[in-house]
Chain A
């Protein structure tokens, strides 16, 4: 992948919680369009990687470049304004605000101020819940709201941390369909335990093992790699 075709470039990233190092020289790239999956068992460092890219965690060393710009020292909101979006694993909605207000906040924080229609077009179900308090939504609807709201900021790259965790199985396909469509338009980096879903969204996959990149390659190759199960098994 050439630099001109790279939107996100993570180099030699090392991250620690106090004295406990979690990521060791992690590298990752994402193109301007398409999906990138980050796989690995619990504790492999996937969420830490996402949080470091978005700026919630500081790295010990290494760099994060986005759209050709070094962003390692930028605050989270500055990274978001440059075009990074992040949907966290949990607590992704403002539980006491209505669905409409949640979406409005997303539209206000973004670069476009033309309302909440884009989110409703992607997740029409939210249109029936606009007046409802977000805390009363089902797990799947909350995820839809969090993803739809992040999209209102017009991100060039969306980081998704376990978008189907806690979601009823009947809704997972609906979310997966939207994510596949989304990956045709922008860059999507997805952390997901649901292996088939992640690989169906992503063209490229990284497998983390104890904070290091253990496997990397096209999704089709990773899916068939005999070492994959070894890295994902608990």
Chain B
């Protein structure tokens, strides 16, 4: 019983970490349709900015916020100078964001080297319930992830800005006929997605060793999360996709090794897409 509860809690925590990591991609890819191969680099930059700031004595929370803002700013520059000219050309945006990933990774290596870096866990404690352990930091990150998803949901479905964005991503041409500034709205969404990726990288940095490829751990999984959950289903789709891709891996790892568990999860994801190509939550 204790083991089952422990696995359940672990899988929920992993689900929320994956949801956090995938949220930026759910916004940029799921909402805007930009296949952002630079998502992993944005996560990595968030992690490095946090590491750099904390080593310079910046408190962890401020460092996380600075990292999110920094990656948001990079997203703004990327969108303004490059991506906005290619919104209707998905293959080009795929290549361009892949180029952004390559350049960012090399610049990180030049600036910070390839050594593994560690960000001190700001909440190293854990709550013990018999043999069942609830790590404090992961729990707080899960709550932040949940709060971000709920906040994004409120913004998208309960505010004028959210209705504008949902209209815009459905039909930019008609949105401009209603006087909406399409270019500005696209920019806002892209920057929000970038900042979300930076925030995720920052919050994940104390859980893993920081290296120039830390974001890649989540890149493919994030794409699976968004596609399996349902492209455009930023809220429920991200959570369901995260549970299927991240949370279920914890279950399968109970009965097998980590590699076998990952293989089973990706096979299941492919199976899901075979029967629901538009994702679990996307209307058929």
* Residues of A near any B CB (own CB < 8 A): 54, 56, 75-77, 80-81, 85-86, 88, 91-97, 101-102, 104-106, 108-110, 149-150, 153
CB distance from B81 to the nearest CB of A (A): 20
CB distance from A86 to the nearest CB of B (A): 5
How many A-B contacts if CB must be within 8 Å?
Answer: 67
Let me know if A91 and B163 touch, CB within 8 A.
no
Q: 8 additional contacts, CB 8 Å, given A75-B176, A94-B166, A105-B180?
A: A54-B177, A77-B179, A80-B176, A80-B177, A85-B177, A101-B166, A109-B180, A150-B177
Q: Which residue of B lies closest to A55 (CB)?
A: B176
Residues in chain B near residue A86, CB distance under 8 A: 177
A176 to B176, CA, bound (A): 26
8 Å CB interface, B123-167 against A: 160, 163-164, 166-167
Most buried by A among B160, B170, B179, B181: B179
Given contacts A105-B167, A108-B163, A108-B164, is CB(A94)–CB(B174) below 8 Å?
yes
Let me know if A153 and B178 touch, CB within 8 A.
yes
Most buried by B among A54, A56, A75, A108: A108
Confirm or deny: B173 has a beta carbon within 8 angstroms of a beta carbon on chain A. Answer: yes
Residues in chain B near residue A150, CB distance under 8 A: 177-178
Let me know if B174 and A93 touch, CB within 8 A.
yes
CB distance from B142 to the nearest CB of A (A): 30
CB distance from A102 to the nearest CB of B (A): 8
8 Å CB interface, B164-220 against A: 164, 166-167, 170-171, 173-182
A106 to B164, CA, bound (A): 9
- Overall SS of chain B's interface: helix
Let me know if A77 and B170 touch, CB within 8 A.
no
Given contacts A76-B176, A94-B170, A101-B167, is CB(A108)–CB(B182) below 8 Å?
no
Residues in chain A near residue B160, CB distance under 8 A: 104, 108
A94 to B175, CA, bound (A): 9
CB distance from A194 to the nearest CB of B (A): 23
Let me know if A81 and B179 touch, CB within 8 A.
yes
Residues in chain B near residue A56, CB distance under 8 A: 173
Let me know if A109 and B163 touch, CB within 8 A.
no
Let me know if A91 and B180 touch, CB within 8 A.
no
Residues in chain A near residue B164, CB distance under 8 A: 105, 108-109
Let me know if B174 and A91 touch, CB within 8 A.
yes
Let me know if B178 and A91 touch, CB within 8 A.
no
A205 to B176, CA, bound (A): 28
